[in-house]
Amino acid sequence: MRLFITISILILLLGSAGGYVYWAQQRPDVGIILTDLSSEISVNQGQPADRGNLLGIQPLLFASDYQSRESLHLKLAAYLEKARDEGLLNAKTIAILPEHIGTWLVAAGEKPEFYKSDSLQEAVKWLAASHPLGVPQALLETPSNKDFSDALFRLKSEQMAADYQSLFSGLAKDFGITLVAGSIVLPEPRNEDGILRIGTGPLYNISVVYGADGKAIGQPQRKVYPSSRERSIIAAAPIEQLHTFATPAGQLAVLIGTDSWYPASYAALAKLNTELLAVPGFVKGKTQWNKPWKGYKHAAKPQTPTLADNSVSEGQAWQQLAIPNQLHASGARAGAMVFMRGQLWRMGIDGRSVVSDGQQHAIAGDKRGAHFVNLWL
C-alpha cells in the first residue's frame, strides 16, 4: 500500500511538471493590434536640397507594440510611410530612432499574461515563469555582479538580435534610407558581413546603423557612459571605440543617451572628422522632461561638471549638456537628438526630440502622438 501511494505521488508530480513545461512552451497566436498611430511633423527646418536630411522619429510606444516583431514593424513602417508622403525621405536621408527601441524586443513572443501585467515587475515574473528550462542556463552565464535582468536578456538574446536585424534592416531597405536603429542590449554584438551577430560575453547597449541596402554599416556603436541602472546589467565600452559611419550624407557619429553629456565624447568625435551627429536618447518617467533633473547620479560625473543637481529641468539638462549646446565641440555641422514617449506597463517614457544646425535648434512639440523632427542639410 505504501509503495502504491509513493508511486501515485510520483506520477502526480511528473504529470504536474509535464503540464507546467507544456504550458510554458505554448504561445497562443495573437492578432496584431496597432496602438495610437497619430503623428505630426513637429519640426521641418531648412530647405530641401541634394545634401539629404536628418529625420528624427519620436514614436509613441506601448507594451502591446512589442508582442511581436511584426507589430513593431507595422507601426514604424506607418511612421516612415507618412514621412515619405510628406517628402521627407530620399537616398541621403538619415532617419534616427530612440535609445532602447530595440531593447524592448525582449518582450516579443511572450504569453498574453505578460502584456496584461499591472507592472513591469509582474511582467518579468511571467517572463521567467514562461521559460523554466532556459532561465537556469542563463543564470549560469550571468556574472555574479549583475542582476536577474542580465539573465533574461541572455535568455532571449538570439531572438532579440534576429528580430532587430530583420526589423531595422528591412525598414532601411524598404524605404531606401540610412537608419540609425536606436539601441538594443545584447551580449558581445558585432557586424559580420552586414548582419548583426552576438557572442557570449558582457552585455552592451549598442546602436547599429543600416544602409539603404539593408546591411549594417561598420561595427555597432557601444555605449561608453552607461547610467547606474544600466551598469547593473551592461558593460561600459572604452571611449576609444567611438567611431563614425560612412553615409551618403556624410560621416555620421552616434552618441547613445548619456554619452552625449560628456565633453570627452565630443572631443573624441572632433578627432574623427565627424560631420553629422545622432543621439538616440531615453528618459524614464511620466512627464519627467519637465521635472527637476536628477543630476549625474545615474552616471559617472565628468571631470568638470557643468550642471548642479536639481538646478534645471530634465529637458533643460539634455539641451545644455547635449547637441543644442555641444554640437560645435564634435566638429559636426548638424545633429539630432531623438527620444520615445509612451507607457510600458506602469513605466512612463518621456522626452522631446531636437535638431540643430550648429546655429540654432528646434524642439518637438508636446502634443500626444508621434513627432517628426527634420533638418535639411
- Per-residue pLDDT averaged across 4-14, rounded? 41
Please answer whether residues 375 and 42 qualify as being in contact, where contact means their C-beta atoms are separated by less than 8 angstroms.
Answer: no
User: Is 1 among the domain residues?
Assistant: no
User: Is 61 among the domain residues?
Assistant: yes
Q: At residue 87, what are phi and psi to the nearest 5 degrees?
A: 75, 25
Please answer whether residues 24 and 306 qualify as being in contact, where contact means their C-beta atoms are separated by less than 8 angstroms.
Answer: no
User: Is 223 among the domain residues?
Assistant: yes
- Per-residue pLDDT averaged across 219-224, rounded? 97
Does 198 score more than 60 pLDDT?
Answer: yes
Report residue 326's pLDDT band, with 50, 70 and 90 as the boundaries.
very high
Q: Identify which of 219, 137, 213, 210 has the alpha carbon closest to the alpha carbon of residue 186.
A: 219
Please answer whether residues 156 and 106 qualify as being in contact, where contact means their C-beta atoms are separated by less than 8 angstroms.
Answer: yes
User: Is 278 among the domain residues?
Assistant: yes
CA–CA dist 358, 337 (Å, integer): 13
* Alpha-carbon distance values, 235 to 115, 185, 205, 238 (Å): 28, 10, 8, 10
Helix, strand and coil in the chain, % to nearest 5: 40, 25, 40
What range defines the domain where residue 278 resides?
A: 35-376
Residue 101 CB partners (closer than 8 Å, separation 6+): 59, 61, 181, 182, 183, 184, 280, 340
Does 279 score more than 80 pLDDT?
Answer: yes
Does 327 score more than 90 pLDDT?
Answer: yes
Please tell me the total count of domains within the chain: 1
- pTM of the complete model: 0.88
Chain position carrying cell 517628426: 372
Q: Between 10 and 340, name the one with better pLDDT.
A: 340
Number of helices and strands (H, E) in the chain?
Answer: 10, 21
Does 140 score more than 90 pLDDT?
Answer: no
User: Is 30 among the domain residues?
Assistant: no
- Per-residue pLDDT averaged across 332-337, rounded? 97
Amino acid at 142: T
Please answer whether residues 180 and 255 qualify as being in contact, where contact means their C-beta atoms are separated by less than 8 angstroms.
Answer: no
CATH number of the domain to which 271 belongs: 3.60.110.10
CA–CA dist 374, 369 (Å, integer): 16
3-state secondary structure of 209: strand
Cell of residue 371, nine digits: 513627432
Please answer whether residues 246 and 274 qualify as being in contact, where contact means their C-beta atoms are separated by less than 8 angstroms.
Answer: no
Does 180 score more than 90 pLDDT?
Answer: yes
Please answer whether residues 276 and 251 qualify as being in contact, where contact means their C-beta atoms are separated by less than 8 angstroms.
Answer: yes
User: Is 369 among the domain residues?
Assistant: yes
User: Is 189 among the domain residues?
Assistant: yes
CA–CA dist 81, 177 (Å, integer): 12
CA–CA dist 266, 282 (Å, integer): 19
Give the other-Cβ count within 10 Å of 312's Cβ. 17
User: Is 314 among the domain residues?
Assistant: yes
- Per-residue pLDDT averaged across 295-300, rounded? 65
Q: At residue 269, what are phi and psi to the nearest 5 degrees?
A: -70, -30
Q: Identify which of 123, 118, 94 has the alpha carbon closest to the alpha carbon of residue 210.
A: 94
Task: Report the DSSP pairing between strands 276-280 and 250-254.
Answer: parallel
Does 145 score more than 80 pLDDT?
Answer: no
Does 260 score more than 80 pLDDT?
Answer: yes
pLDDT at 370: 93
- Per-residue pLDDT averaged across 301-329, rounded? 82
